[in-house]
């Protein structure tokens, strides 16, 4: 009879509740998501476990599972029959269609929600799991792909705005911006790229994820915009597995209010390099700082940079 019951529960994707050691019991209802195999394309089985750490029986338990946007999961929810006594768990299974693994480093987030009566009385509990795929870039310079600064003697190497125009290294130097120079802004000390003039010196677009370690109340970015809508999201990943996302923006390097998108002016240089030589000396071309909030109690491990190619990042630091 017991064997027949086990087969029936397995077909429903429900595991028998098992006792939880007293030392491991939580004080409320907890939801845990098992490992997700990201080696796609494939259909992976994901286990979601609900743990009753309350003092009363838990009943009418329903679990839903959510994968990244665009991914298919089955079924939409699972219901667990009967009740779940304090100190016991129930595990249900979901199927998720995993697409082909991307070449670049990515972090996938999965979430599950349990609704119930009894237990700890909260009636709802949720859990998340982050799965990494690939290897992040070692640092910000590893994400550099464009040349924002060129010398007036060789301006054709630069292309900050997509039209072959770039900052003049000579004019930036007059404003105190030179390769490897320390730049103080918004309470942080940042380091201007030490890249030789005329070589990649900024990260723009692609949403690349880099390794970055630090603590503080904010993450400060040094950069500039190559359009008037140079805004995008930045995701910060902490060592405890949590993450936060915020919007970062810079004004256009010349023709926009210096405080646009909440930025702060750091330096102005006169004129710019065009493909055929220095010019536009009647205008200022600028570098800005802006920041996003951090949880000061946590340590940053990774940063996913803006995906908008108009947002050019030269440096970042905590403050």
**Residues 288-304: tens digit of each pLDDT:** 999 999 999 999 999 99
Residue 84: what pLDDT?
Answer: 96
| Higher per-residue confidence, 14 vs 116 | 116
Confidence of residue 222 (pLDDT cuts 50, 70, 90): very high
d(C-alpha 247, C-alpha 208), whole Å? 15
Reference 77, options 90, 64, 91; nearest CA is 64
Amino acid 27: pLDDT: 67
pLDDT in the model for residue 19: 38
Q: Would you state the pLDDT for residue 6? A: 39
User: The domain 2-133: what is its CATH number?
Assistant: 2.60.40.10
Confidence bin at 220 (pLDDT 50/70/90): very high
| Residue 241 pLDDT grade (very low, low, confident, very high; cuts 50, 70, 90) | confident
Does 196 or 18 have the greater pLDDT score? 196
Tokens of 267: 């330096």
Residue 1 has pLDDT above 50, yes or no: no
| For the chain, domain boundaries | 2-133, 140-318
243-274 pLDDT tens trace: 899 999 999 999 999 999 999 999 999 999 99
* pLDDT over 60 at 226, yes or no: yes
Q: Mean pLDDT over residues 160-182, rounded?
A: 97
- Tokens 């259909």 belong to 43
Percent of the chain with pLDDT over 90: 85
Residue 223 — very low, low, confident or very high, per pLDDT cuts 50/70/90?
very high
Residue 73: what pLDDT?
Answer: 97
């Amino acid at each position: 009879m017991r064997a027949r019951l086990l087969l029936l529960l397995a077909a429903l994707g429900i595991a028998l509740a098992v006792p939880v050691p007293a030392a491991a019991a939580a004080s409320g209802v907890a939801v845990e998501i098992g490992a997700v195999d990201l080696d796609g394309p494939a259909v992976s089985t994901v286990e979601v476990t609900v743990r009753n750490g309350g003092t009363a029986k838990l009943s009418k338990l329903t679990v839903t599972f959510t994968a990244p946007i665009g991914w298919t999961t089955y079924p939409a929810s699972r219901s667990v029959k009967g009740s779940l006594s304090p100190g016991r768990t129930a595990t249900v299974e979901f199927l998720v269609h995993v697409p082909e693994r991307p070449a670049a480093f990515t972090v996938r987030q999965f979430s599950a929600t349990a609704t119930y009566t009894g237990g700890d009385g909260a009636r709802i509990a949720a859990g998340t799991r982050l799965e990494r795929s690939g290897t992040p870039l070692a640092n910000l310079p590893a994400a550099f792909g464009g040349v924002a600064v060129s010398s007036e003697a060789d301006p054709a190497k630069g292309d900050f705005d997509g039209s072959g125009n770039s900052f003049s290294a000579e004019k930036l130097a007059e404003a105190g911006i030179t390769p490897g120079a320390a730049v103080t802004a918004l309470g942080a000390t940042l380091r201007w790229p030490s890249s030789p003039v005329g070589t990649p010196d900024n990260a723009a677009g692609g949403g690349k994820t880099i390794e970055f370690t630090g603590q503080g109340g904010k993450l400060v970015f040094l950069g500039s915009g190559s359009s008037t809508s140079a805004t995008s999201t930045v995701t910060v990943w902490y060592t405890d597995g949590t993450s936060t996302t915020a919007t970062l923006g810079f004004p256009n390097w010349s023709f926009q209010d210096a405080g646009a998108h909440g930025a702060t002016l750091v330096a102005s240089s006169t004129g710019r390099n065009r493909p055929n030589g220095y010019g536009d000396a009647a205008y200022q071309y600028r570098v800005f700082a802006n920041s996003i909030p951090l949880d000061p109690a946590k340590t940053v491990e990774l940063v996913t940079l803006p995906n908008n190619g108009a947002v050019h990042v030269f440096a970042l630091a905590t403050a």
